[in-house]
Structure 1
Amino acid sequence: MRRIGRRDIVAAIVIALVTGAAFTSPPLQRLQGLSLDILTALRWTLIGDRRDPATSPVVVVAIDGETYETPPFKGSPTQTWTREVGRVLGSITEGGAKVIGFDVIFKNSIEQSDIPFGDAPVGARMKGFDRDYLIALRKLSDSGKLVLGEILSNDHPDSPFAAQRLAVKNNVRALNVYTDDDDVIRRMPLSFSIGGKPIPAMAVELASRALALPPETGPSGTMSLSGYAIPSAEPNTLTLNFRGMGRDVPAYSFADLRACIEKGDTDFFRRAFDGKVVLLGTILNFEDRKLTSMHLSGGYDGSPAARCALPTPAGTAQKARNDIAGVFVHATAVRNLIERDAVAELGVPQRTVLAIGFAMVIAFAAGMLAPTGAMLSWLALTAAYTTVAVSAFVHALALPLTEPVLAGLTAIAMMIGYRFVIADREERFLRKSFAFYLAPEVIDSMVASGKMPALGGEMRDITMFFSDLAGFSSIAEKMTPAELVALMNDYLSAMTDIIESHGGYVDKYIGDSVVAMFGAPADDPDHARHAVAAALQCRDRLKELNDSHPAFQGRGLAHRIGLNSGKAVVGNIGSRRRFNYTVMSDTVNLASRLEGANKYYGTVIMASEATVNQSRSAYTWRELDMVKVQGRDEPIRVYEPLTDKNQETEEQGLRAATYARALACWRARDFARAAELFESAAGDDPPSRYFAKRARALAANPPPADWTPVNTLEGK
């Protein structure tokens, strides 16, 4: 994790302020509506709403496709339906409906038709056709149970026929909706100014009549109804709460209700409409369809209500649609008002504060973490915040969703850009400058602390790795300087890549020698096992280079590797003006001696007993000898790694067993038997040949009684 400085803190705050304010500004106001749409979809998908439509205070009487296909309506113009409409309205009222609102507008009368019919127009022959309908409207209006609808417009107003307005004594309310810039209906107007006076919209009028209390407007402009202060993020509007996605409002077919009258089932009307607000409207596939905040997940044209007389038409299974019949927009508004369930939205200041807070958290994360970590933080915070927002929306509180999330995403991009251009420029320079000289962990420590490395060290348990090319001086004499440099660069690069891939750190190059450590500067509990793995792979890689690399072919390069594990002082060692991250101790010296000891036995890799003990379970080993190296008085056992555990070949297993028996005979002073066993395995095994020669010499000239089976090695 990167340390964040004062300049980074200021940058994060500025970025959060800019992004939070930008995404809640008026030009991006559509995001507020998109938040409502997403919250509506998530709530329905994750939680749903199992409310029984029968408990709805509002129902819809639908002039639907069935009505258009059912006699006496089939093939008849809608102007001729008025008598049947009056009859149905009368039965609904007798059934106990509180109030009936029209979401359909009969703006013409058949009595006004100028279509020729015989020696007189149709209208003249139909005089008095609407009389019963108008009488029904007058009675319902006088009882306060009827409100007709109209569309207010300066250009194209849509109003009921004049005789109807007269019958209801201008008891007409506006059906206009509030449409956002993206043509989606998320809110409904509460009132309209007509003649300089605020007149309630249709939904407010119906709800107030159902509650038997008029709406009131306080000094602040907030409208209240029966003590319920209607939340209005946008002035004079109600934010719709589509809890049931339209399925919580029963829809009765107008054709079935007309047939129910013919059947004489008055009890059905009482069961269906007693105490209800009724909306008469159309449910058709291609007329009066509205996009609402349900459009992302799909809404429904109500829930099919119980039927009275006609059978259910075939093929009427409901499917979610991105648009719904307009009557259900008004029905939802009425239900929200009666149940006090309109959505409360935060104002611009609160939304801005939330967006800034979200962006600030993400900006700080992007300042401290790598881009991937910052993105994961954004995803985690987005998931947590979405959970909170959906939980709040269950209780009709709409927290901004898209604005904070997008502000946070933009904050990541801006903070990464800031770091790349300004903040991390110094870090990149530092890493680039020291990458060839210091361990990555040391550079990380410098960057995190903001300080250059200082003198000092610590005791660590490590494994040292020493390697050297055998007889390289004589080979180098036959090469040009350019050839020598190219060969060494290829060789050292290959060995270094292997060492670092196993977690090792190359301390230095000494000519053709490589000095590396495992277990520092990065902690590694398995440093011995990783060092052995690197040594085996280096051995195999040099064979590949000799076989396939043009610069190596024909030169027969061979190297020797020494491994030793133990305590050592590691750290920044040197003078006060110049130092290296390196290692010091007898552990280092012994590894160097073991590298040189390989030339006596003809082996490639030799490891101390300490290294073997820490990695024995991972490899198959062969004990080579007990030796005393220069600079040490105590003899040590030395070993050769053969291969990974349980992967040795049958030949390797037999040779190792023979070697072990021969070594036991050697230590028991049975030199003749030891020579025989060593010779039996000496074909292509240099250690066996080396011991066979020594055993024959001692068999011919036995050593004194105080002889010990310790090989004292001279030189390095």
Structure 2
Amino acid sequence: MVLNYWRRHHWVLLCSLLFSGGLVLAQLSAVYSEQSVLKRLDGLLYDSRLKLTLPYRASTDLPVVIVDIDEKSLQQVGRWPWSRQMVAQMLEQLTAAGASVVAFDVIFSEPERNPVQQVLQGGKQQLSAEMTEELQQLAPALDADQQFARSLENKDVVLGFLFQQEQLAVGQLPESYVAMDSQASQSSASNFAGYVANTAVLQQQSSGTGFINSSPDPDGFIRQAALLIRYQDKVYPSLALEAARLYALANELIVETAPLEQINTIVGVTVGNTRINTDLYGRVLIPYRGPARSFPYISASDALHGMVDKTLLKDAVVFVGTSAVGHADLRSTPVGVQYPGVEVHANVFEGLIYPELIHSHPDWAEALVFLFLIVLGLIMSVLFPVLGPVSLALTGGSLLLLTLGGNLYCWQVLKLDLPLTSSLLLILGLTLLNLIYGFFGASRQKARIKSIFDQYVPPAHIDEMLNHPESVSLDGKRKEMSVLFSDIRGFTTLSEKLTATELKSLLNRYFSPITKTIFEHQGTIDKYVGDMVMAFWNAPLDVKAHAELAVKAGFSMLKITDELSKNFVSDGLPAIDIGVGVNTGEMNVGDMGSEYRRAYTVLGDAVNLGSRLESLTKYYGVRFLVSQVTVQQCPTLSFRTVDKVKVKGKTEAVTIYEPIDPQQLENPHYVAALKQHEQALILYLQQHWTEAEALWIRLQQDSGHKLYSLYLDRINYYRQQPPGADWDGVYTHAEK
């Protein structure tokens, strides 16, 4: 069984195993390469899955509001950056309306120029000492940075800053409130070489500070956010994480790590009493609430002038940022491309407060995918080649749906993000590979069947069988059919006169046109046995007027034999002649045989009678005999009654006939002879021996036909031994 399987399916099995192995290697490379195609495809599937499940995302009552420095604000107030006095005024308005935490997704990295200092520097030689002193006393009151710094006092405000790969230091780096259970310098958090932070006067008054760096994937889409970044020997929190610390009234953030060779990998961050799982780089998948503006938005100009709904801001966490196109803070995200960066921070913050919203990408996800690819790849590679096209498509489709359903279940219920691309490619690839192989294999098989059975079945039948296999049954069944037997007369003697090569050539030259004419008359070759040809009609496909077609095929075979015989004689070969017998009746037909050899053939008494009829042609001196049932189904043809006989092995008598070639009916002398024979036969059956004898003697003298001599011999016999009054005219043959 195994050897047979390997012999039939080894090519598709090897191709399937190679394809599965290639996918495993591609998945392995994707683990170490951010630029792999699988990673990009996984990103696209991630986006589709996220958007598909957004309607079923759990909602929260967390009051998060975004104050947007939008186009309206720039038109009404002026271009950004605004004076720190205005920012301070806006902050006062927000906190007065009830905001609990305010996080700025902007950086105040340079001090704002004091107008008094500008006047003093520009008019040193023109100002009197008294005027200069008065201006110097006025300077603190007009210092916008000091005003903003004073507004920061006693408020939970988070200022943003930016890490950079370049080695530069702008502004004052904040104090880190991150506590680690290992050395920060050995943590797995992303490391940066420089920063752009806020001015010292603002930083010193700020309750918290967080970086505003984004973490785009290689395709530029922001699907995850870094909560921690390492700079020198310290780890700093993101804007959203620091806002969560202030909102949770926590004094510090606790980072949990696990040792892995030379580094300490990050496994989670604790904010107050809430633990958030992260990947080894301290990142989380962003639990997007929806498309842009899924959070309440307030125009910054409205916030500046106190034109806000205080119920909206009561106990709210406010993120201040910009959606203005010119400020380059619009991001590509799974839920939209022109997505405000400030709203990304808002989504991360909501997930930190409600960690159950965050999906995790476990460290063992890739190992699970590897195992899945190997096991499923092996099963599919072995199983799929033996499935039919419908079963293959249904199985592949079911596996595809099960994989998608399982992945969606893990995402929606277990909150697990598992790679999907390689699994889908495996199922689709192996299904298509086997379908294509099956298609070409079926084509090859059809061609093979056609090449084999074209020798036995008419090409039109083969095409019909291949196009409509449901119309063909190889199972045994009983139906009315017509069978033809043909044999070369004196073949044994003939074969003794020829060499093996000459005999082979003769038979090939004989069988080819004989087979062709049988096919042309919609017959099926059953077998060749020596010089004998056996054919049948009305199977495997139904054939109308099968008896008439069989008789016409017999006529054609006789004409072909006559032409071949002339050619053989001219080629120095013996002349040949054949006998043909046709019978119609109920026969058993089907695929029969043993496990070693089978054949589609016919069996039954009606088949045996057809063979006996062919054997009797030599006895009666005719070339073609058919049964009465065949005659009854050939109303357009003419026949001559030959005899009423009991063949060997049969108890019932049958009337046998000689088919008359339609061309012979054009000869009036032949037609007259037929009528005389029928008259003589009637007289013979009535035991009017003298009258019947006279007619047959006349026919015998005209044609010398052996049939007439047989009847004359029988009359002589019955004169000496009368058959009796109950005689039915039946002649019993003791030999086949």
Please give the range of the TM-score, normalised by the shorter of the 2 chains: 0.5 to 0.7
The one-letter amino acid of 2:100's match is: K
Alignment partner, residue 362 of structure 2: 346
Which residue among 480, 492, 503 is the counterpart of 2:515? 492
Alignment partner, residue 23 of structure 1: 27
The one-letter amino acid of 2:65's match is: V
Residue 311 of structure 2 is aligned to residue 271 of structure 1: yes
**Gap change, CA 1:335 and 1:559, over 3 Å in 2:** farther
Q: Please identify the structure whose Cα radius of gyration is greater.
A: 2
**Distance apart, 1:634 and its partner CA:** 4.4
Alignment partner, residue 331 of structure 2: 290
Which residue among 76, 84, 97 is the counterpart of 1:71? 76
Q: Would you say the 8 A contact 1:462–1:566 is kept in 2?
A: yes
**Gap change, CA 1:585 and 1:216, over 3 Å in 2:** same
Which residue among 530, 533, 554 is the counterpart of 2:541? 530
SS in 1 for 2:66: strand
**Gap change, CA 1:99 and 1:694, over 3 Å in 2:** farther
Q: In 2, distance between residues paired with 1:193 and 1:344? A: 22
- The answer for unaligned runs of 5 or more in structure 2 is 124-134, 169-193, 259-265, 458-473, 492-502, 568-577, 657-664, 688-724
Q: In 2, distance between residues paired with 1:497 and 1:134? A: 108
Moved more, 218-227 or 392-401: 218-227
Alignment partner, residue 703 of structure 1: 686
**Gap change, CA 1:384 and 1:621, over 3 Å in 2:** farther
**Distance apart, 1:207 and its partner CA:** 2.0
Alignment partner, residue 237 of structure 1: 283
**Distance apart, 1:246 and its partner CA:** 4.4
**Gap change, CA 1:486 and 1:346, over 3 Å in 2:** farther
Q: In 1, distance between residues paired with 2:527 and 2:33? A: 57
The one-letter amino acid of 1:96's match is: G
**Distance apart, 1:182 and its partner CA:** 3.1
Q: Deviations over 1:206-237 (max 9, x none)?
A: 22222233432224232233454433344311
**Gap change, CA 1:605 and 1:703, over 3 Å in 2:** closer
- Flag the structure with more relative contact order, 1 or 2, with Cα contacts below 8 A and sequence separation at least 6: 1
SS in 2 for 1:55: coil
Q: In 2, distance between residues paired with 1:115 and 1:493? A: 115
Residue 196 of structure 2 is aligned to residue 194 of structure 1: no
Moved more, 378-387 or 221-230: 221-230
* Percent of aligned pairs sharing the same letter: 16
Q: In 2, distance between residues paired with 1:91 and 1:595? A: 117
**Distance apart, 1:394 and its partner CA:** 1.8
Q: In 2, distance between residues paired with 1:80 and 1:355? A: 57
Q: In 2, distance between residues paired with 1:171 and 1:250? A: 24
Residue 87 of structure 2 is aligned to residue 85 of structure 1: yes
Residue 49 of structure 2 is aligned to residue 42 of structure 1: yes
Alignment partner, residue 449 of structure 1: none
Q: Deviations over 1:515-567 (max 9, x none)?
A: 469xxxxxxxxx86735469589779989x99xx9xx99x9x99986555445
Q: In 1, distance between residues paired with 2:323 and 2:635? A: 83
How many residues of Structure 1 are paired with residues of Structure 2 in the alignment?
Answer: 575
Q: Would you say the 8 A contact 1:508–1:514 is kept in 2?
A: yes
Q: Deviations over 1:625-669 (max 9, x none)?
A: 998663342449999xxxxxxxxxxxxxxxxxxxxxxxxxxxxxx
Which residue among 344, 355, 372 is the counterpart of 1:329? 344
The one-letter amino acid of 1:354's match is: F
Q: Would you say the 8 A contact 1:462–1:528 is kept in 2?
A: no
Q: In 2, distance between residues paired with 1:120 and 1:279? A: 39
Which residue among 51, 57, 65 is the counterpart of 1:59? 65
**Distance apart, 1:238 and its partner CA:** 0.8
Q: Deviations over 1:590-616 (max 9, x none)?
A: 45457899999998997699xx9xxxx
Where do residues 654-673 of structure 1 align in structure 2 (5 Å cutoff)? none
SS in 2 for 1:188: strand
Alignment partner, residue 647 of structure 2: 630
SS in 1 for 2:242: helix
- The answer for unaligned runs of 5 or more in structure 1 is 300-320, 441-457, 475-479, 518-526, 613-618, 640-681
**Gap change, CA 1:461 and 1:67, over 3 Å in 2:** same
SS in 2 for 1:111: coil
**Gap change, CA 1:569 and 1:179, over 3 Å in 2:** closer
The one-letter amino acid of 2:383's match is: A
SS in 2 for 1:154: coil
Q: Would you say the 8 A contact 1:345–1:398 is kept in 2?
A: yes
**Gap change, CA 1:484 and 1:13, over 3 Å in 2:** closer
Where do residues 276-675 of structure 1 align in structure 2 (5 Å cutoff)? 276-285=316-325, 287-292=328-333, 294=334, 299=335, 321-340=336-355, 341-347=357-363, 348-369=366-387, 377-395=395-413, 396-408=415-427, 460-461=476-477, 466-467=483-484, 485=508, 488-489=511-512, 492=515, 506-508=526-528, 511=531, 513-515=533-535, 530-532=541-543, 535=546, 562=583, 564-567=585-588, 571-572=592-593, 581=599, 586-587=604-605, 588-590=607-609, 592=611, 630-635=647-652
Aligned CA RMSD, in angstroms, stands at 6.2
**Gap change, CA 1:570 and 1:380, over 3 Å in 2:** closer
**Gap change, CA 1:703 and 1:605, over 3 Å in 2:** closer
**Distance apart, 1:41 and its partner CA:** 1.0
The one-letter amino acid of 2:424's match is: V
